Amino acid sequence: MAITLYDLAGAEDDRRFSPYCWRVKMALKHKGLAFDTVPWRYAEKDAIAFSGSQTVPVLVDGGRAVYDSWAIATYLEEAYPSRPALFEGGEAQALGLFFSHWTARSVHVPLLRAIVLDIFGHLHEKDRAYFRESREKRFGMPLEQAGGEPKKWLAEVRGALEPVRPVLVQNQFVSGKGPGFADYILFGAFQWARSISPLRLLEPDDPVYAWRERMLDLWDGYARRAKGYPVWA
Amino acid sequence: MAITLYDLAGAEDDRRFSPYCWRVKMALKHKGLAFDTVPWRYAEKDAIAFSGSQTVPVLVDGGRAVYDSWAIATYLEEAYPSRPALFEGGEAQALGLFFSHWTARSVHVPLLRAIVLDIFGHLHEKDRAYFRESREKRFGMPLEQAGGEPKKWLAEVRGALEPVRPVLVQNQFVSGKGPGFADYILFGAFQWARSISPLRLLEPDDPVYAWRERMLDLWDGYARRAKGYPVWA
């Protein structure tokens, strides 16, 4: 049975910008599982209502629907134990859960402020009103104000990455010698940005930059081939 | 051959307040290794000069000296592979290194500001001038100013712990089902504070509070029996 992923898309069907969907796509590649993606927009809540979720990623594997990127990773580990592991064991998984919450809080929050206007500019027309309204409510201010200082928020993103740097000086990947789900968690943030924003997030001499290159190279450049801006043009 | 740990002490020999030494003591207990500790003060740099380090923890195992808590944990894993593991594998170790840097940056920095005057108040007389001078240089302000707003910095500590909470709701320990070095990393911060400060760091309904209780209970209350303030008096 084929695996299908509902994957957030922008104006064009092939502009896929959800950091959480990127986690899942990288996890599926890691496990060597074939899958199809369905472009999905915020306006299409009906299309995924069957799953119980209001948002993507939603993974359908045979008759089973799973949503939430963490739950999907856990599901894939359990359903495909003979495939390459996303977590080396229970301790790596527990620390991975911490890493996921850290990324959401310390990286995604400032990164969203740095790229929110770029996201808005790449949305499908039918998503624009919803996105503006929901995000302005969340920010408590107009979108143009929330996204008005990208350089300030970019500096915050770069500062937040500080504890990752010594790890990536010592190891090739966040997960050590090879990539694991923790790498896909952090990489999702960069792929999110790259898919809709020309902002240069990292300087080439940053160890995180070299790591991102390694991530972009995985599986014959799977993530690099996705529609987006070059990381350093 | 006996293992000896040079362990930072306050005015009294048995007031041991270094968060990094606490990591090592917990790691030694975890591995079931017998060890002696030597109370050490900042003024006694000569006593550990043989190790090449200017500060503690310094571990001496037979003829070998190892310093830096992370290097000591790595050494213990390699030297005593048949003892209970501090890291479940390479991925847990890589993520543990991230966790160590995160703790130093996000937890220790604000926590130091919250308790620095309490530290100063518990120092051995011969350490006071050194501590004041070196910390005032680091802070760029008088100690009394740096430590003048403990409640503000306490709020920062509590906020910084946000990504740990969902992990400790789902699991008993940061490392999952059982305690590992990541737990000792974070616990070191709490034991640091408790050894010299009456500040209530956590509310009893905080999942981190329940975890700290579990940590204090390990090995028949090893850490709880150490000289310090009660966590909630």
pLDDT tens-digit series, residues A109-161: 999 999 999 999 999 999 999 999 999 999 999 999 999 999 999 999 999 99
pLDDT along chain B (233 residues), means of 10: 94 98 98 98 98 98 96 98 97 98 98 98 98 98 98 98 97 98 98 97 97 98 97 74
Residues in A closer than 8 angstroms to B96, CB to CB, are 95
Instruction: Band the pLDDT of A192: cuts 50, 70, 90.
Output: very high
Distance CA A218, CA A184 (A): 11
Query: Averaged over A10-39, what is the pLDDT?
Result: 98
Residues in A closer than 8 angstroms to B104, CB to CB, are 163
Per the CB < 8 A criterion, the answer to whether B7 and B37 are in contact is yes
Q: What pLDDT shows up at residue B232?
A: 77
Three-state SS across A66-77?
EECHHHHHHHHH
The torsion region of residue B140 among left (phi > 0), alpha (psi -120 to 50) and beta comes to: left
Of A93, A175, A180, Cβ closest to residue B176: A93
Q: What pLDDT shows up at residue B189?
A: 98
Q: What is the ipTM of this complex?
A: 0.95
Please say if the pLDDT value at position A233 is more than 80.
no
Residues in A closer than 8 angstroms to B183, CB to CB, are none
Please say if the pLDDT value at position A103 is more than 90.
yes
Record: contact A176-B102, CB cut-off 8 A: no
Per the CB < 8 A criterion, the answer to whether B211 and B200 are in contact is no
Q: What pLDDT shows up at residue B233?
A: 59
- Looking at residue B105, the DSSP 8-state letter turns out to be I
pTM: 0.97
Q: What pLDDT shows up at residue B152?
A: 98
CA A109 from centre of chain: 13
Give the chain A residue whose CA is nearest to the CA of B102: A163
Q: What pLDDT shows up at residue A232?
A: 77
Q: What pLDDT shows up at residue B51?
A: 97
Record: contact A170-B97, CB cut-off 8 A: yes
> Residue B142: CA atoms inside 13 Å, Cβ hemisphere, count?
3
* Tokens, residue A71: 């739950």
Please say if the pLDDT value at position A193 is more than 90.
yes
Distance CA B220, CA B216 (A): 9
Record: contact B98-A167, CB cut-off 8 A: yes
The alpha carbons of chain A give a radius of gyration, in whole angstroms, of 17
Query: Averaged over A2-10, what is the pLDDT?
Result: 97
How many CB pairs (< 8 A) connect A and B?
101
Give the chain B residue whose CA is nearest to the CA of A97: B167
Q: Who's near A186: CB < 8 A, 6+ residues apart?
A: A99, A103, A107, A164, A174
Distance CA B84, CA B27 (A): 10
Q: Is the peptide bond before B19 cis (omega within 30 degrees of 0)?
A: no
Q: What pLDDT shows up at residue A231?
A: 87
What is the per-residue burial (b if ≥16 Cβ within 10 Å, else e) of A141-150?
Answer: eebeebbeeb
Per the CB < 8 A criterion, the answer to whether B35 and B184 are in contact is no
Q: Where are the beta strands (DSSP E) in B19-144?
A: 35-40, 58-61, 64-67
Record: contact A163-B105, CB cut-off 8 A: yes
Q: What pLDDT shows up at residue A162?
A: 97
